[in-house]
Structure 1
Amino acid sequence: MPELQRVLPKYLQIANYIRDQILRGDLPPGAEVPSERQIAVDWEVARPTAARALEALRNQGFVESRKGSGTFVRQQGQPNRLARERYSRAQETGFIYPPNERAEIIAAEIAPVPANVAAALGIAAGGEAARRQRIIYADDHPVEISTAWYPAAVGQLAPLLLERQRIRPGTLVYVEQSTGRQARYARDEMSARLATAEERTRLRLDEPAAVLVVHHLVYDADDRPLEFTEAVYPPGRWAFDATYPIA
């Protein structure tokens, strides 16, 4: 049997926490990150550990130090916000989107499900489900088309899914509250393909254009599928970042 991985060193855990704040948009380009002294106080670690955390972020290209001023988030290629970043941001701040992002709901209806959605949600072929589609904008530029599907029974218990308006404090939280089913884990699958004509129009892309596609499937405590989302992202934005130990 393989051995369990050791916990990451403290400095790397601190660096990863700040990196996640950057990826979520909590610390936008140009924002100042906590100083070495502040990190040492907040995390109750020695100054060398705090200094090494900032050094790791500099080496990874997330921040830059300015002599006499501090350490700041670098201007860099913008990441796509994946579900895991939005979940963690909502848990910590109460908000899904950072200040420069907004969502427009463009569809909320009961609709026939495609074959892959039916298989993911355990719906019979030719069945129907609640469908919500939104466009997410960053600095007023479209950066994601997200289409979420819910079993029809969920739509009946959570009627706001069928209304074209934002749901606060978030769609998944609302579904949990309405159905009594708690989301426990999720699986993401990533692939790439050419954009459809509709996607090119909504994301303002030239023809042809490749897009990143993420299938996000949420399960409840009984391992039953609760939500299936297909998110489509334009090219030129990176979407995955992970730091992990190598044995």
Structure 2
Amino acid sequence: MQEPYSPPKYFQIRRDIISMVQRGELAPGNPVPSENEIIEKYQVSNTTARKALHELEKEGWVTRIKGKGTFVKNYTVVRAINRIFGFTKNMIEAGRKPATKLTGFHLRKGDHTQVVNGREFTMRGPYCEIERVRYADGIPMMSETRYISLQFCPEIHRRNLEHSLYQIFEKDYGIVLTEINQMVSAVIIEGAALEVFQLEKPSPAFRVEGVSFCGKDMIVEMEDSVYRGDMYRFAAKAVR
């Protein structure tokens, strides 16, 4: 009987270190195990240890600084809150590979109301409520609940909701967002949310609540999202 295939040792080491980064055990800027530490832990040659670190650097997970060591690359993504663009475009601009997983779906008949920046907004029903997890290079970056108007986007629940909603709005419904009102607050990822974000201990995060318009008082969607605090920075610009 043929023995089962076993990946090369350097690949297993690389996979272990990537998992530590994804779980938050190795934060951006933290040193990763050195060649000597890898040799000792995995009982491999210096060639194998060096190759594992080289592959991690080549794939953009780490940065090697001569004379200092190898460090987790800063994966922080800047999200400009004064620009109208979605997660997919944001990740592509940051050089990340975006992906989306649909985790929940409901059709609602009633209205949906949220308070954003002290003002109450109501989106008339019916609407489609979806829950999604958004990834960059396989790392869970945000968890979101979105409420989409079925008046403006009929049958949207029959579209592939793991694609960019902004692209669906424009391509399938001819809708271009003209205004987004958002409120950002600080929260903690804990409890059941830890599993969603593949984290082992409570972690700071940003909660973003928002309402999107395609014209005066024409609400297309509303959102309630949580962004990993160690993966995001929010940028705003004000002019006088």
Secondary structure of 2:233's counterpart equals: coil
Counterpart residue type for residue 108 of structure 1: F
Q: What residue in structure 2 maps to residue 221 of structure 1?
A: 215
Amino acid aligned to 2:137: D
Match among 146, 149, 152 for residue 151 of structure 1: 149
Task: Give the CA deviation at 1:178.
Answer: 4.4
Residue 100 (structure 1) aligns with: 97
| Equivalent residue number for residue 13 of structure 2 | none
Is 1:241 aligned to residue 235 of structure 2?
yes
The equivalent position to 2:106 in structure 1, one of 98, 109, 117, is 109
* Alpha-carbon distance between aligned partners in 2 of 1:236 and 1:201, rounded to the nearest angstrom: 16
8 Å contact 1:211–1:235 — kept in the other structure? yes
Provide the rounded CA distance (Å) in 1 between the counterparts of 2:231 and 2:199: 13
The one-letter amino acid of 2:98's match is E
- Alignment counterpart, residue 194 of structure 1, candidates 177, 188, 192: 188
Aligned pair 1:211/2:205, yes or no? yes
Any conservation in 1 of the 2:209–2:222 contact (CA below 8 Å)?
yes
Q: How many residues align?
A: 167
- Per-residue CA deviations over 1:68-96 (Å, capped at 9, x if unaligned) read xxxxxxx54512546737459859xxx68
What letter is aligned with 2:182? D
Give the structure 2 partner of residue 32 of structure 1.
none
CA shift for structure 1 position 217: 1.6
- Matched residue, 2:10: none
Residues in 1 aligned to 2:120 and 2:85: alpha-carbon distance in whole angstroms: 22
Q: Which moved more, 1:206-215 or 1:134-143?
A: 206-215
Cα drift, residue 120 of structure 1: 5.7
Q: Secondary structure at the match of 2:132?
A: strand
> What is the CA RMSD across the aligned residues, in angstroms?
4.1
Contact kept? 1:109, 1:132, Cα under 8 Å:
yes
Is the partner of 2:77 in helix, strand or coil? coil
The structure with more strand, counted as a fraction of residues: 2
Letter in 2 for 1:203: F
Q: Distance in 2 between matches of 1:114 and 1:197?
A: 26
Distance (Å, rounded) in 2 between the aligned partners of 1:200 and 1:90: 26
Decide whether aligned partners of structure 1 residues 148 and 243 sit closer, same or farther in structure 2, where only a CA change above 3 A counts: closer
**Cα–Cα, structure 1 residues 221 and 135, in superposed 2: closer, same or farther, change >3 Å?**
same
1:116 is paired with a residue of what secondary structure? strand
Distance 1:185 1:114, change over 3 A: closer
Task: Report the TM-score, using the length of structure 2 for normalisation.
Answer: 0.53
Instruction: Tell me which structure has the larger Cα radius of gyration.
Output: 2
Distance 1:128 1:96, change over 3 A: farther
Q: Which residue of 2 aligns with 1:166?
A: 162
Q: Distance in 1 between matches of 2:237 and 2:216?
A: 30
Q: CA deviation at 1:153?
A: 2.1
Unaligned 5+ segments in structure 1 are 1-74
Q: CA deviation at 1:113?
A: 6.9
Between structures 1 and 2, the one with greater helix share: 1
The unaligned stretches of length 5 or more in structure 2 are 1-72
Match of 1:132 in 2: 130
Cα deviation, residue 179, structure 1 = 4.4
Contact 1:194 1:208 in 2 (8 A): yes
Tell me, yes or no, if the aligned pair for 1:106 and 1:164 is still in contact at 8 Å. no
Q: How many Å separate the matches in 2 of 1:115 and 1:223?
A: 14
- The superposition leaves residues 122-151 of structure 1 with CA deviations (integer Å, 9 ceiling, x where unpaired) of 247xx6520222211122111111221112
Question: Which is bigger in relative contact order (C-alpha 8 A, separation at least 6)?
Answer: 2
Query: What is the CA deviation profile of residues 194-235 of structure 1, one whole-angstrom value per residue up to 9, with x for unaligned ones?
Result: 335332210123444332111232112223211112221123
Rounded to whole Å, the distance in 1 between the matches of 2:112 and 2:133 is 20
What residue in structure 1 maps to residue 70 of structure 2? none
Question: In structure 2, what residue type is equivalent to 1:146?
Answer: E
